[in-house]
Each structure stands twice: as structure tokens, then as C-alpha cells.
Amino acid sequence: MCGIAGIFDFSDNDINPEIANRIGASLEHRGPDYSEVQFIKNNVVFIHTRLAIIDLDQRSNQPFKSDDKRFTIVFNGEIYNYREIRKELEALGVSFRTEGDTEVLLYGYIEFGEQILQKLRGQFAFAIFDSFENSVFLARDRIGIKPLYYSLNDEFLIFSSELKTIEQSGVISFEANLDSYLAYLRHLCIPGDQTGNKNIFKLEPGQYTVINKNGDIYKKTYWDPFKFEINNDISEHEAIKKVEELLIKSVEYRKVSDVEVGLFLSGGLDSSLIGKLMNEGNDSKIKSFNIDYEDHFEGYKGEVQEARFAASEIGVELVEDTISYSDFKQLLDNYSFYQDDLVGDEVGIPLYFLGRSSRKNNIKVIQVGEGADELFYGYEHWLRFMKLNRLIKPITSKRNSSFTFDNHRSNLVSNILFNRTSFSGGALGFNLSEINNLVSGGISNEYSSIHYVDNMWDQYFSNRNSKLSKWMTLVDLKIRLPELLLMRMDKLVMQSSIEARVPFLDHELVEFVLSIPEEIIFKNNETKPLLKKVANKHISEKIFNRPKQGFRAPVGEWIKKDQNYFYDGIYEFNKSTNLFNNKYLKSVLAGSDYQKKWYLSNLANWHLTRSKID
């Protein structure tokens, strides 16, 4: 894991070294082991901060050049199958001077061009400058585990692992993207290529782009989960066997490291199964980490007891830590800055402290269970949603775009009846009716990002082979996973210079799961039926059959301790943007839904923090 950035001036102007150094400094938390600002030409600079994981020797430091100096790469992430690709390249006559994956990635690109992306098994975002063609190649991994942001205008390209790095460069101004703000309110993240800053975009999962010396941009999607078809010939026995085989291989790949690899352990099915598979064949005990809260709260009793039981069962060491309200208060002033992109889920808070705990215990690589719920139907509300859809059928074939109920349950029923998008993703902030009431003047035609998922819904269900159960996984692979769950993991854990690896999101495992027939992978009355049959071979039934409660933070209880602090920021935001109807906003803040108050406060703090960047 690293931090990458670069500037390409199309007018051949000299790049100011102070700007390049400022960018490098802003990425140091992502790579404390080595950093370098390298001027490839007077008008091209690449910047890299390294978290050394594979081939710790300085020979693998970046930016890394090809032998002939034509190509220069900066790379963030890991290529787990780099040894296999290296053998293929060596057979073609390529010789190597390092033992790392960066050099393999660079020469793989030189040999195969963009087709190298089809060979990669890993998590990555990288940039390669071709000094002969005067072009930059940017790519992001299939699932979107690693982020990549860019700003492009007539004068220059600037890219980075983090949004705030581009903003802090001083060459790109902040301009609030109100369209994205509304999309955030609906999804708790921003789908597609938009960000909260109108002048900055992100490369989407499974995309690459080429930008030439004239500033022309060519963009292509090389991997799309919606393109995979169901294989009705797969039997349940074959599905169980293949999922187990792919998961074992995925976990083993994610142990590839020249430093110790740890585990975030909740004590539930996902993390416990990963821990058990990690531990098999291991000589020493794996360190696992769990965070609890000093004060427990209604609806969440903590998971430390379950984590202790699981740690004992699977044979790993458990490191426990606790978060207090004072810890939260110390983090809060910087939280929106640390989270970088607009991400509304408060789980980034305990993830930040998990990362800090890992670093204190000299672990800088961890495996996590992210993605299992979305792939294997791990949410109770998914089951309830499917049951409701079997009871209620649309009364019209054409989508009715009018807004109806603020109440989520009534809104869901009306969405089904009027053929609207009834499942816009696993993360739900405000529904469209609520947003329409909240926004001054309602949702007008100038706001398009908020309907990103509706356009996907229409396109997907125009296919006669579409399945509602598959849609739930597919839409989360497009929006919630890459732009919310994986971003909170990347940004908040990387504040402590920790690399997170996600074995459930290995693309070969994802592709196979997407091909499994609905009747095998989904059951009306049970979460994760298929994964539980895999887990049964490895871990105790007491672990995978315990009630799921999810990983949460008591933001409501914390807001109640100092409401003015949160509300004042929301009102200041609205004074700055005039986005919200003040009367409706006051009714939300006077209500009892503290989750919504957190989402508004998080948006307000994010905006106000950006507005103050010089």
C-alpha cells in the first residue's frame, strides 16, 4: 500500500517543485517507509510514498523506471500473482532487477499493454508515463479496492490516491458539487466518476484511461460485474466445492508479504473463516484485532465476547482495544478530512482505531471480511425485501417518477407498486421523497447523479434474464462496496499506514459467485446459506449461526452529549450553500433519527473543511 500522485503539464511549462513537495507531504501517512518526488521531464512529475510490504529493499522504491527510461510507474496496492506473471515474462526474455511486484507490473504493461489488466489478481491503482508517446496510463482494480482521483483541464492533469491531496496542491480550487451532495444523501457515498468537488473526478472500478500530451482522454471499462451471466448447470455441491477452493486460494494469496499479516476479527462468520484459513499451515499465531466501546448503547452490545470465543476456536491471538467518547471527540475535528471522500457510514470511526491498534502492535497488513455479506446474502433486510417483493407486484409496467412517502416502509411499498427503483443499494440514507422535501426547490433536472442508480435499474431490468436477488449484489458491487465500504477501509485505516486486504473480493471468486443460480445461493429464511456450508468444514457452528448485529458506532449517543456542536455545523453549511429548506431541515434536527443527523453533520463538516483549504 502506498500513496501515488503526479502532474502532467500539457503546455510544457515547468512544474513548481514546491507544489510537488506539498503533494508528497500530504501522502506521507500512506507510505512512511520511503518517499520520492521525481521529475521525469520539466513538465511531468511523479510522486510516491511507500509502505514497504513486498521486497523491502530500496531497489523496489518508486517512482520506478524501465531499463530504457522510457516508462515510469507509480503503483499503489499489491499484485498477488506477480510471481506467475514474472515467470511468463521471463519466458519471453524479460530480465528483472528486483523481487517485487512493481517491476513485474511495469514490464507486464510494456509487453502486453492494457491487456495486462486481465492478468492481474490483486488490488491496485497505478499510473505509467510513456516518455516517447507523451501519455499517461491510469488504471483502477476491478472491484475498486484502491482509489484513484484526477483533475483534468486544458492546462494539465493531476492525479492522486486521495482527493484532498489534489485540493491541497493549490492548483485545483474547491467547488461544491451539489449534485454529488444529493447522491451522497441517498447512498452515503457518491456513485460513478463524481466527487464532492466539481473539479475532481475518480476513476471508476474496472476502468483505465489514457491521457495524451494534448489533454485528450480515452476511457474504457475493462471489467463490469453486470456482464457475467448465471450458469444454471452449476449444482449445489459444485458451488460449495468451488467457493471453498477459490476462498482458500484467495486467502493464501493475501498472505503474500515480506511483513507479518494480521486480521480484523469481529467473531462472526466472515472474519472467523478468514482467520481459520489464514492460520492453516502457519508456524506462529496470527494477531487479530477487535474494538469495543467503553459505553454500550441500545441496539449494540459489542462483539468482544464473540471475538474472544472465535479467537480461541480458530487459534489466533486477540488484541482488544476500547473507544471512549473522549477518543471520538479528539478524532471528530479531523474525521471528515481523514475520510477524504464523502462517505457517510460512521463505521470509519472504529476502523480508524482498529488501524491505530494494529500499528501499535507492529502489524501493517491485515485481512478483513468485507464483501461477504454482499456476495452471499448476509443481511436480514435483504431477505425481508425479497419476501415483500413476492407479496407485492407492480401495477404499472413503466416507472412512475413521482415522489410519495418519507416513511421508509411506505416508500418501499410505493416504489414496488409504481415500478420505481425499490432497492437502490445496501446503504440507505435519505429516500428520494425525503431529499425532495429537504432540498430547496426540490430535486430539479439539474441534479442527475441522484438518479445514477435508477438508470442502472432500468437498464438491468430491461433484460429478460434479470433477477432481483442478483441485482442486490450487483448494485452493491457498483456503488456501496467500492465507494463506501472499501473507501472507509482504505482512508481511515491508512491514516495509521495499514494495508487492508479483502479475500472475499478476489475477482475470480466474485465472478464465480455471480454465476451461481439464485436457488443455490439465496434462501428466503436464512442468511448466507451457501457460505455457511463452506464454513461448516472449517469453523464451529456456534460462530456462523450466532445472530448478526453488524459493526456500528454510537453516533446518536455521542451527538446527544453535545448537540449544538453538530447542529451549528449543519446550519453553517446551509448558510454557505443554501441547499436545504430551512423549515424541513429544522424538523429533521428536531426529530429522533440521529443517524440522519450524523449524515448531515458529516456532509457539513466535509464541505466546511474543504472550503477552508488554502
Q: Give domain 2-223's CATH superfamily.
A: Aminohydrolase, N-terminal nucleophile (Ntn) domain (3.60.20.10)
* pTM assigned to the model: 0.95
> At 253, is the secondary structure helix, strand, or coil?
helix
The pLDDT tens digits for 400-409 are 666 677 777 8
Q: How far apart are CA 188 and CA 343, in angstroms?
A: 6
The predicted structure's pLDDT at residue 546: 79
Q: How far apart are CA 145 and CA 132, in angstroms?
A: 31
Q: How far apart are CA 265 and CA 551, in angstroms?
A: 11
Place of cell 471527540: 329
Beta strands 2-9; 44-50: pairing state? antiparallel
**What is the CB-side half-sphere exposure of residue 213 using CA atoms within 13 A?**
11
Interval 261-286 mean pLDDT: 91
Residues 6+ positions from 23 with CB-CB distance below 8 Å: 5, 7, 37, 47, 160, 165, 168, 169
Max intra-chain CA distance, the chain: 70
Going by C-alpha positions, the residue among 425, 510, 415, 381 that lies closest to residue 189 is 425
Place of cell 491505530: 356
Q: Read off the DSSP letter of residue 546.
A: S
Q: Where are the domains of the chain?
A: 2-223, 235-372+481-506+526-544
The pLDDT tens digits for 557-571 are 889 988 999 999 999
Going by C-alpha positions, the residue among 155, 156, 164, 149 that lies closest to residue 209 is 149
316 within 8 A of 264, measured Cβ to Cβ: no
As a whole number, the mean pLDDT across the chain is 93
Interval 488-503 mean pLDDT: 95
As beta bridge partners, residue 35 has: 49
What does the block give as the cell for 265? Answer: 476479527
The pLDDT tens digits for 221-255 are 999 999 999 999 999 999 999 999 999 999 999 99
pLDDT band at 299 (very low <50, low <70, confident <90, very high): low
The predicted structure's pLDDT at residue 453: 96
Report whether pLDDT(556) > 90: no
The predicted structure's pLDDT at residue 301: 66
Interval 430-440 mean pLDDT: 94
Output 427 or 572, whichever has higher pLDDT: 572
The predicted structure's pLDDT at residue 408: 77
The pLDDT tens digits for 26-72 are 999 999 999 999 999 999 999 999 999 988 888 889 999 999 999 99
CATH topology of domain 235-372+481-506+526-544: Rossmann fold (3.40.50)
Q: Please provide the size of the chain in residues.
A: 614
Query: Are the folds of 2-223 and 235-372+481-506+526-544 the same?
Result: no
The pLDDT tens digits for 512-549 are 999 999 999 999 899 999 999 999 999 999 998 877 76
Report whether pLDDT(93) > 70: yes
Report whether pLDDT(4) > 60: yes
Burial-class residue 458 by CB neighbours within 10 Å (0-12, 13-18, 19+): middle
Interval 458-483 mean pLDDT: 94
Report whether pLDDT(507) > 90: yes
The pLDDT tens digits for 210-220 are 999 999 999 99
Q: How far apart are CA 436 and CA 446, in angstroms?
A: 13
The predicted structure's pLDDT at residue 600: 97
CA distance to 182, 209, 499, per residue, from 204 (Å): 19, 10, 21
282 within 8 A of 289, measured Cβ to Cβ: no
As beta bridge partners, residue 277 has: none
What does the block give as the cell for 594? Answer: 440521529
The predicted structure's pLDDT at residue 332: 87
Report whether pLDDT(306) > 80: yes
CA distance to 181, 219, 320, 340, 457, per residue, from 353 (Å): 27, 37, 11, 17, 37
Q: How far apart are CA 613 and CA 18, in angstroms?
A: 17
Residues 6+ positions from 113 with CB-CB distance below 8 Å: none
Dihedral of CA atoms 435, 439, 445, 451 in degrees, nearest 10, equals: -20
